[in-house]
Amino acid sequence: MVEESGKGKKDRIRVLVGGVFDILHVGHIHFLKQAKSLGDELVVIVANDATVERNKGRKPVNTAEDRAELLRAIRYVDEVYVGSPNAIDYELVRQIDPDIVAIGPDQTFNCDRLKEELRKNGIDAEVIRIPYLYKKDRAKTSKILQRIVEEFCE
């Protein structure tokens, strides 16, 4: 994990993000790049397949293991974990020990409530929402899937 200095402070700032990351697109890259810029290490928790199905009402196109492998190949990403079927695996987040939790622009988390829940679970991390840097009508997996169906399946 992160090494501690003699003064009890972390030598490196660890940023944590979570998400589905199904059908990687430029919006994901912008998000990961911005999140990485907040610290020294970027850790990603990719959503478990059961979580995706529960939250989105559809199975992911790619399995969690495939999505994790793709994320590991991105230069901004230092570590990748597959999440549990639970909404948020606070035990895993505690093990990762982030300094910052970065939330994507289209994720439905309330930053203040998430920060409070993290604290209740013994996690002392800042929560920062990353703004859209790309066209939100194009850089969304659901929009990409819709375009594929409209253009190629009629």
In the chain, where are the structural domains located?
A: 14-152
CATH of domain 14-152: 3.40.50.620
Rounded distance between C-alpha atoms, residue 147 and residue 144, angstroms: 5
pTM of the model: 0.84
Q: What is the pLDDT along the chain (154 residues), one digit of tens a residue?
A: 444 444 445 689 999 999 999 989 888 999 999 999 999 999 999 999 999 999 889 899 999 999 999 999 999 999 999 999 977 899 999 999 999 999 998 888 899 999 999 999 999 999 999 987 665 566 666 677 777 777 778 6
- Give the pLDDT confidence score for residue 11 in this predicted structure: 85
The 8-class DSSP code of residue 67 comes to H
Sheet with strand 41-46: strands edge to edge: 79-82, 41-46, 14-19, 100-103, 126-129
- Give the pLDDT confidence score for residue 152 in this predicted structure: 79
Rounded distance between C-alpha atoms, residue 51 and residue 113, angstroms: 20
- Give the pLDDT confidence score for residue 154 in this predicted structure: 67
- Give the pLDDT confidence score for residue 3 in this predicted structure: 46
